[in-house]
Each structure stands twice: as structure tokens, then as C-alpha cells.
Structure 1
Amino acid sequence: MSTTNILVGCAASTILISRYAHYSAITTFVLLTSLALTCKVLYHLILWPKFLSPTRHLPGPTNPSLLMGNFATVRKMQSGAAQAFWMRTIPNSGLLRYLGIFNMERVFPTTPEVLKEVLHTKSYSFVKPPLIAINIGSILGKKGLLFAEGEEHKAQRKLLLPAFSHAHIKGLVPGFWSKGVEMTEKVAEVVRSSRDGPGDGGEEGVVVQMGRWFSLVTLDIIGSCGFGYEFRALESASISGSSNIEDKSGSELADAYKAVFNTGGPSRMVAILSMIFPFRLVRLLPLKRTRDVDRASSTIRRVTAQIIAAKKSMLATSPEDSESGDILSIMLKSNAYTGPDGECSMRDQMMTFLAAGHETTATSMIWAIHVLSLPENRHMQSRLRAEIHAAFPSGLPTTVTYDQISNLRYLSQIMSEVLRLYPPVGATLRMAAEDTSLNGSFIPKGTTLMISPFAINRSVALWGADAEEFRPERWASKEDGAAAVESNYGFLTFLAGPRGCIGNMFAKMEFKCLLAVTIGRFEFSQDGKREVVVKGGAANKPQGGIPVSVNEVVWG
């Protein structure tokens, strides 16, 4: 029963019994309401999760806290890591159960067979939980593909599929490459200016915070290749200072998304408050985090509106551009986004793709450079560079084709292994929209499921005893893009089924182009002694970035 229904029921009860009560109507209402709310809290905190829930018999970790379940364990580890540990150490037949903050139930599918039920067979029976829809939806909008359900999701996905077709992505590869070249020119300027000045250059290289540059280049790519719009984030970025700590980027949109997806302490505090109080009330609190998010959301909406207006003007004045296949052009030409509601829907769609296509690939690039710069993996970096230089013996090309990039086999293996071990989104939630079952176990309506790409991608049962190791060769016998496991539900970086990532091919080719041009031009190194801290959040990014030493190399 909702809090609103409780208040209405207590008000009605007060009217009925006030003539017989020894207290005033106001006192009676307060007492009834306090009693009802206390009963509700006790029911949800203790009675349901510990004694009544049909899922309480599923295997899972012990609960060290009376009211907080396993929250302390989940909180101190990166997203998906706790689930990976439990999956390795707790015998199960496809489902685990644990309790989150305030004993909120989480049912965790652990096998491809059960994941197929969730993500394919019964995909539309499991929806985004309301808290996520309200929280993230208030920032990115609630009418985009991310939050669409059922028939609406099918219609939106069908409309957008042409923008992510194989043929269309092939045509975007030169654009991916040119932006990558532009980024490496900026990084080269940083390295040279540091060597010429009092910076930290020398044989050991110049320390560069590469995450900043990956964030800017992926923003430029989603703008130009996704929406036919130039953000010029790289062009406006300052190269002063060799450390390049990720403060202000030079792009207001990049800074806005950084503010929105900041996963520091204030962000976690707001998330916890949202579990206790209505999110609309939390947003009214005088917290710096809520003010920062409101400002950032306003910036994203304003810039998105400018992009839509510019694209409409271009299509109206330049008929030769009417055949453009970018996402925004397809939406405009479909006539499915007309009127005020259509404009709002189009804006939300764009905001979703900007967020999804921007930070995820940037995060993957951070992890790729990190793992390849570790002392034990430097030979892999050298082998990859040799493959890239051999494919382009005349020097750094100004443009490349889809086939040229696809033929770089070791590049594909490196990409796949990075995406396996370091999925940008380590865990995501679904909620049962109706009473259903999984693997023969009854799952009541409202049950929250935790789907963890991080855990599944590291499953010893699926990937072998070396599942935690970075070993690109495990992909050597596979065709480009094929998983190195038997089931499509054993590699979940892009999820799977009808709600799998629509832009997975876009992301993979973008990642390949950026990694190829970056490794082709620079050598990266680190001593491997720095502790990498990753806390739970929207993306599995290392806190403080991962600074690495950078040296330019002679091509070939």
C-alpha cells in the first residue's frame, strides 16, 4: 500500500472514530498515521524480506546486518564485484538472492539459461524499476528508448534500427578514425609541450590523464557520426599542463555529463535518500549535488534543443542532405515525432544516446590503456602496435575503411577482452512487472532482479579457471564480434535479447578505431603499483582516472 493510500485511509478512519475517541481529530489522525506507517516500515524492512517473501529460500550470502542486509559488502566493491564473488562461492542452480540497503530484495540470475528467460523469453515481463526511471529519467528524459516498455519499446527500436545497421556503421568508420586522429594530435601537443617546458618529460614519458581526451573524442564522435552535429569539444580543449586532471574540459556538454554521472559521496547520499523519500522531495532539498545535477540537466536540454533546431534547418534548406542516415535525421524524417510531445520525445531520445554513446566507450578506452600499460602486458601493446603499423606501412593514414579495421585480428581480440573484463556498466536492475517464474522458482510482481555483466563475464563456469585474467587469445578462434563462450547470454557487456544495446556495433567499431590510432601513435606505461579504486555507480570508472606515461613512437 502506498503512503498516499495510508494517509487517505487514516483520514477516513479518523472521521469514523473521532466521535468515540478520547483525543482530538488531529491527535487521532497523527496516532493512526504513525501506527500505520510504523507497521508498513516493519513489514518492508523485516517481515517481508526475512519471513514472508517467496524468494527467501533461494541460496545467497548471510545477512550481517538486521536492517541493511548485504549493503556494506556491495557498497565497498565496484559494481558487480560482490555478485561475482557470491557466484563463485555459493552453490546455486541459476538464482541467488541477497538483501540490499534497508533489506531490499535482489534476485541475481547466474546462468545463461536463466538470463535467457529474463532477457529474451520474458523480456517484457521485467521492466526498469520505478526508482531508476524517476531518478535517471528526470535527467535524461523518460520518453527515450532506455525507459520505453512493451509495444512502445518495439516501435521505437524498429524506427531506430536503420541508423545502427551494418551498412550504415561501415560508412561511419572514416569519421571515427578522423576524430581519433584529431585526439592524438592534441595528446601529441601535450607531450611535446611538456618536454619543451619544465614538465615531467624525458625518456620515461609524459604523464597524461587520458580519460579526459577519451571523453572529449567520444562526445565529438556521437555528435558528428550520430547526429550530424559538430560539438568541437576537442577543438576547444586546452592542452595546458601535462597532468591534464579532468576538471573543466572546454566543452560545456562534456562537463555537464561529468556532473550528472559523478559517482562521489554526494551522489551516493542523494541515491540513498531517494530510496527513503519521494525523489521529487529529495530534489527540493538544498543539496549541492541536486543543484549541480539541475544545472547540468538544463545545459544538456538546451544543447539538445539547439541540435534539433539546427538539423531541422539543414534538412529544410539543403535537400541534398535529406538522405542522411544519422539518428536525428531518421527521427525527423519518420514523422513519428511531431507536436509538443513528439519534440519532447525526440529530445529525450537524443539525451539517452548522447549519454550512452559518450561515457561508455570513453570508459572502455580508459581500461584498455590501463591494462595494456601494465608491466606484465606491455608485450601485448607492442604486438598490437606492430599489427597496426604493418596494416598501414606508409604511416598514419588520414582515413581508413571498415574492412581495414576489421582485418586487424589482434585488435579485435584486445577489444573483446577489455569489454569482457571491464564492462562499462557492471550491473543493471530489472523489476518483475507481473507474477512470473524463473528456473521454476516463483518470482512475485515487484521483485527486483540484479543483472551483472561484470559477474557473468568473469564466471569460471563459463570462461574457465583463468576467467579473471586478461587473455586476448581466448578470442583467437572466433569470428569478429562472436563471444568466446557457447551461449549468447555468457557475454553480457551489451546485454542481449530484444532489449540488448542497439548501438553495440557502433560502439565496437568506434572503440577499435580509437584504440588503433592511439596505440599506433603512442607507447603507454605505468609501474602498476597505483591502487585502482572503483566504486559502484552508473559506470565502472576508476576514481581519479588512470594517469599513464606517454611517449610518441615512430610509425613503423
Structure 2
Amino acid sequence: MARCLADNQLENSTEKGSATTTTSTPKHTDLMTLMLQSGDATNPQEIQDACLNFYAAGKDTTAFSLSWFIVMMNRNPRVLCKVREELRRVVPDLFTGGLDTPTLEHLQQCTYLEAALKESLRLNTLVVYRLANRDTTLSDGTFIPKDARAVFSKYGSARQPTVWGADAAEYKPERWIDKKTGKLKKMSSFQFVTFSAGPRQCIGMRLAMMEMMTVLSVIFSRFDLETLMDPFNITYDFSLVLPVKGTLDVRVRSLMAHSA
């Protein structure tokens, strides 16, 4: 299914790219068309594989991450209030309908929103594993035979007091913000392992963060999303991508109607 979507997208983007000159680039275009126009990627197979990666790796992971953020906001209304305060200051037109979506410059100023999102991603993240292609001995002496599947628990790592402090299990966006500067702290990717680290780190990390921050800023500037179930009773299902168990049912209220 994903391969068929990638094939169709490549065909459509190729037609679009050939019909568009470099001096008449449309205001809105897709990533594949930009790749074709740049000339950096000319192998159709490489472009198709890149598209497939976006479909396969970026759909469920992003969707479930957004779901967990909604749960976190219901569990922590104090955080939601601070997120909205920041959005009202940085992008007030989102609340009035004067702006459909925030710009990249707006999102770069939304420090608390990014901290709240990263904290949700820290606590509610996917599982990763690797199949050993040869016998391996880790630095602590653990022997992993060839063809063994090694699973890394990001869920457990995110709750390690030795890594995150005594309050590791708490949802606390403030841990991401430098008290002196008010800016985001630079965390090692080997500490914040949601997007993995090293040469196998997620190549779509920055895109995913901007995508989620855009969606969340639009949703929470216009609507209240109240979970029908007690948010503290919402749990996860067994899966590599850690989805919310069952359906995430919410009651949606317009902020404008709610304040009227």
C-alpha cells in the first residue's frame, strides 16, 4: 500500500516538476517536487524510497504522539494554560482567525510549547530494536549473538532517576528550559532518545517537531479537547509505536464559544 502511494506521488510530482520552471515556483508545493527541482536526487528509486520513509515512519508515530500530548494536557491543565499564554503572546492572530497557521519564525519563539511537546515525547515514546548481524560484546561485557534481537526500552530510560533526576516519572516541561536564559536546554540525543541517536538518528526529527508544533498550536488556540475518560485512566496498547489503548474520545469545544 505504502509502495503504491510512493509510486503515485513520484509520478504526480514528476509531472508537476516538469511543468514548473525555476522562475515560477508555486507558493505551496510538496517535498518530492522540491527534490526533483533541486536536482540533488535524480535516481527515481532514491526519491521513491525517501517518500516511502515519510509514509511509513511519519504517520503513526506523529499521530500517536499528538494523541499523547492531548492526554498530557488533560492531566496537566496548568501546562495547557501556559501553552496558551505563550501562543497568545507570540501568535495572537491564531485565536481570532486572522492567521490559519503559524510561521516557522512563530514556532521558533514558542519555547514552552516545544518543551511541553518534548516532555510528552520523552514519557510516551516508541520501542526500537535491532537484529544483530554479527556476534557482539557490549561495553559492559554483555554478549549478543548473531541474529539475536536486542530491544531498547525508551520507556524505561525516560523514567530513570539517574538520567532525569528524582522526578523522572513526572510530566514537567520546565525541565527543558534554562532558568537563567529562559531558552531551551540542549539535551544530548543519548539522553533524550525519542528520536534515537548517533548515525541512526531519525532523519525526519526536525520536520516531525515542526509538524506537531504547527498542529498543536492551531488546535489549542481554537479548541478545548476534553477526554471523555479520566485522563489518568488512559493507558497504552502493546505496539512498537505505543498507541493510546482503544480510541481517544474527546469532547470538542470552540474556545470562542466557550468564552462567550
Structure 1 length as normaliser, TM-score? 0.41
DSSP 3-state at the match of 1:461? helix
Give the conservation status (yes or no) of the 8 Å contact 1:369–1:524: yes
Q: Distance between the aligned counterparts of 1:373 and 1:499, measured in 2? A: 33
Q: Distance between the aligned counterparts of 1:410 and 1:529, measured in 2? A: 22
**Unaligned 5+ residue runs, structure 1?**
1-296
Please name the residue that 1:398 is paired with.
100
Larger radius of gyration: 1
* Aligned residue among 59, 79, 93 for 1:380: 79
Give the conservation status (yes or no) of the 8 Å contact 2:129–2:151: yes
Q: Distance between the aligned counterparts of 1:482 and 1:329, measured in 2? A: 31
Please name the residue that 1:355 is paired with.
56
DSSP 3-state at the match of 1:550? strand
* Aligned residue among 37, 43, 46 for 1:337: 43
> Are 1:554 and 2:256 an aligned pair?
yes
With 352-361 and 513-522 compared, the bigger mean Cα shift is at 352-361
Aligned ranges for residues 419-438 of structure 1 at < 5 Å? 419-423=121-125, 425=126, 427-438=127-138
Q: Distance between the aligned counterparts of 1:331 and 1:497, measured in 2? A: 28
> Are 1:326 and 2:31 an aligned pair?
yes
**Unaligned 5+ residue runs, structure 2?**
none
Q: Distance between the aligned counterparts of 1:530 and 1:453, measured in 2? A: 21
DSSP 3-state at the match of 1:319? coil
CA shift in 2, pair 1:514/1:325, >3 Å:
closer
The code of the aligned residue for 2:35 comes to I
CA shift in 2, pair 1:480/1:358, >3 Å:
farther
Q: Distance between the aligned counterparts of 1:489 and 1:512, measured in 2? A: 23
C-alpha displacement of 1:362: 1.3
C-alpha displacement of 1:366: 0.5
CA shift in 2, pair 1:391/1:349, >3 Å:
closer
Q: Distance between the aligned counterparts of 1:463 and 1:513, measured in 2? A: 27
Q: Distance between the aligned counterparts of 1:404 and 1:523, measured in 2? A: 21
Would you say how many aligned residue pairs link Structure 1 and Structure 2? 246
Q: Distance between the aligned counterparts of 1:303 and 1:476, measured in 2? A: 40
Give the conservation status (yes or no) of the 8 Å contact 1:331–1:337: no
C-alpha displacement of 1:391: 2.0
Deviations 1:319-368 (A, max 9, x none): 23679782454268345525xxx3xx543432221121222111111111
DSSP 3-state at the match of 2:134? coil
CA shift in 2, pair 1:407/1:530, >3 Å:
closer
Q: Distance between the aligned counterparts of 2:107 and 2:117, measured in 1? A: 12
Give the conservation status (yes or no) of the 8 Å contact 2:101–2:218: no
Q: Distance between the aligned counterparts of 1:482 and 1:418, measured in 2? A: 17
CA shift in 2, pair 1:331/1:449, >3 Å:
farther
Identity rate, percent = 27
* Aligned residue among 507, 522, 525 for 2:208: 507
Q: Distance between the aligned counterparts of 1:335 and 1:488, measured in 2? A: 28
C-alpha displacement of 1:421: 0.8
> Are 1:445 and 2:146 an aligned pair?
yes
Q: Distance between the aligned counterparts of 2:72 and 2:120, measured in 1? A: 8
CA shift in 2, pair 1:448/1:362, >3 Å:
same
CA shift in 2, pair 1:458/1:327, >3 Å:
farther
Give the conservation status (yes or no) of the 8 Å contact 2:32–2:47: no
Give the conservation status (yes or no) of the 8 Å contact 1:489–1:496: yes
Q: Which has the higher helix share?
A: 1
Please name the residue that 1:200 is paired with.
none
* Aligned residue among 296, 302, 317 for 2:19: 317
Please name the residue that 1:407 is paired with.
109
Please name the residue that 1:188 is paired with.
none
Q: Distance between the aligned counterparts of 2:15 and 2:231, measured in 1? A: 53
CA shift in 2, pair 1:435/1:302, >3 Å:
closer
Give the conservation status (yes or no) of the 8 Å contact 2:16–2:33: no
Give the conservation status (yes or no) of the 8 Å contact 1:413–1:472: yes
* Aligned residue among 146, 154, 157 for 1:456: 157
Please name the residue that 2:186 is paired with.
482
Deviations 1:152-173 (A, max 9, x none): xxxxxxxxxxxxxxxxxxxxxx
Give the conservation status (yes or no) of the 8 Å contact 2:236–2:242: yes
The code of the aligned residue for 1:434 comes to R
C-alpha displacement of 1:436: 2.9
Q: Distance between the aligned counterparts of 1:532 and 1:330, measured in 2? A: 41
RMSD across aligned positions (CA): 2.7
